[in-house]
Amino acid sequence: MDDLFDLCEYAEQPAPPTIPLIGTKAPEFSASTTNGPIKFPADFAGKWIVFFSHPSDFTPVCTSEFIAFQREMDAFEKLNVQLVGLSVGALSSHLAWFDAIEKMPGGEKITFPLIDDMTGKIAKMYGMIHTKTSDTHAVRAVFIIDPMGTVRAILYYPAVLGRNIAEIKRMIVGLQTGDAFGVAIPANWMPGDDVLQPAPTTVNAVRQETGNHPWFMKYKKLDKDAVFRKIGKQESGKK
């Protein structure tokens, strides 16, 4: 009888919250931001989105990241990318912080939106709060979302480590290149490097492979100019 009671008690426990995974649709929400109210991701349909969280306003690592993101705005725009930031903080704090960033030596005028998530509801929805580090501050999460609203990549950084903006750009270019040309992207790839063609899926196809590389590593040359002529112009999933 005790065992049955234990089972019933276990069954009544609420299920743990789900968070977005690669290949799933980005959860929808409405929020206030430093650029006005938004509906996410609907307001950015047809664009790639870099949705990222940071632990707190008026902190040195976060400030360095926002300056670095802003300095790459032209490059992100050419790739059809919208930056959207989030922290568990009030809009008034965000606005004061942006004003301080603009006025500091070497600062920048931040033009992309930063979400007011004072309750932490959106951060929890996206798995940005890791309770082993903090119950109230988000880690440095990055969600790359495609023009169809699908999560394509996820990164997590601890509070003490600033993000590599160049790597985030490389990921965007790599994902767009893979979509546009039907190829895979090898380690340390940069535009202009060889890409990988899909591996054969039948015995006969394997036997027909020739060349110096093994059958499962079939490289293909892809000119850098060809890449940039095609990517960044993809809207609503069209290539």
Residue positions annotated with a catalytic role: 62
Q: Of 225, 115, 228, which is closest to residue 176 (Cα–Cα)? A: 228
Torsion of CA 151, 86, 15, 27, to 10 degrees: -40
Contact 207, 201 (CB under 8 A): no
Report the DSSP pairing between strands 195-196 and 219-220.
antiparallel
DSSP lists the bridge partners of residue 36 as none
What does each C-alpha distance from 134 to 14, 130, 131 come to in angstroms?
22, 6, 5
The terminus-to-terminus CA distance of the chain in angstroms comes to 62
